[in-house]
Amino acid sequence: MFYLYMLFAFACEYVDSSLGMGFGTILTPLLLLSGLTPLQVVPAILFSEFVTGILAATFHQRFGNVFFDFSKDEKIVSSKYHFLGYLPRSQDAKVSYVLTVLGTLGVVFAVLFSLNVPKIVLKLYIGFMIFFIGAYIIFKINRPSRFNWKSFSLIAVLSGFNKGVSGGGYGPLVTGGQVVTGRGAKNAIGSTSLAEGIICLAGFILYLLSKGTIEWKLAIPLVIGSVLSTPLSALTVKKIQERKMKLIIGLATIGLGILTIIKTFI
């Protein structure tokens, strides 16, 4: 089973780090079908996503897919984001930082909201939202958009909200949402990897504090398999043309949206 878990993780992380989505959505059902429980699976996946998210972002930077510069942007004093107190210098770093901050805020909203709304409604909402974002990417593929911080900020909150109410729906919405708001596909994938890695660390710590342990026999092969795939996926992103990457992201987002809707009724 050790090597099977490794193979599962390698394949799923290759998809995730190449498209910015799919690791938890694909791997969680596979592991549950193998007889594991959610309390064994979720912490192990969060831990592996933390490790590989940071590592994937590092390789994306090395291959030139993104540029992270986290030194303070001195222009923040005169910007509308001065209330944050800090913004990193480069655009890719800014996006990852805002994704993390607003995504955490979205998780808080999700906890309050999900207490009073049926789970089937939440899952359908997420499925249809992801589907329409994918369709919009395909529709706009030959109509480039300028990056819009307001639209992106809404996407960042909604992505955290999705993660909080269902444990999924983060990657497709964040990556697809960035493309919709005018970000380049390669930049969107790299920024998503970094932000999701940090958010998964927070989730993993919360699980440790509440559960007190982790299934290391599962977590270790997941980490090894995932780590082995990250340089290959970053190189794949570097080699694929931007328009083709947007098309692939759009189709993958539509597919994951349909899968989410179908799983709601199964």
Q: How far apart are CA 187 and CA 230, in angstroms?
A: 16
Domains: count for the chain? 1
Using an 8 Å Cβ cutoff, are 223 and 52 in contact?
A: yes
Question: pLDDT grade, residue 101 (50/70/90)?
Answer: confident
- The percent of residues in the chain predicted with pLDDT above 70, rounded, is 89
Please name which of 213, 259, 193, 248 lies closest in space to residue 51, comparing C-alpha atoms: 193
Question: pLDDT grade, residue 236 (50/70/90)?
Answer: very high
Q: pLDDT digits over 113-124, tens only?
A: 665 667 677 778
The pLDDT value given to residue 7 = 94
Angle at 47 between CA 21 and CA 252, to 5 degrees: 10
Q: Which of the pair, 110 or 135, is modelled with greater confidence? A: 135
Q: pLDDT digits over 16-72, tens only?
A: 888 888 787 778 778 877 888 877 888 888 899 899 999 999 999 999 999 999 998
Long-range contacts of range 103-106, CB-CB < 8 Å, 24 or more positions apart?
103/156, 103/157, 103/159, 103/160, 103/163, 103/170, 103/174, 103/195, 103/199, 104/160, 104/199, 104/202, 105/157, 105/160, 106/156, 106/157, 106/158, 106/159, 106/160, 106/161, 106/162, 106/163, 106/164
Angle at 66 between CA 65 and CA 67, to 5 degrees: 140
Judge whether residue 102 has pLDDT over 90: no
The pLDDT value given to residue 58 = 94
Judge whether residue 266 has pLDDT over 80: no
Residue 155 backbone dihedrals phi, psi, to 5 degrees: -60, -40
Which residues form the domain of 98?
2-264
Q: pLDDT digits over 42-55, tens only?
A: 888 889 989 999 99
Judge whether residue 256 has pLDDT over 60: yes
The pLDDT value given to residue 10 = 94
The pLDDT value given to residue 229 = 94
For 217, the enclosing helix (H) or strand (E) is helix 216-239
Q: pLDDT digits over 161-189, tens only?
A: 776 665 566 788 888 888 888 888 999 99
Q: Give the mean pLDDT of 210-222.
A: 86
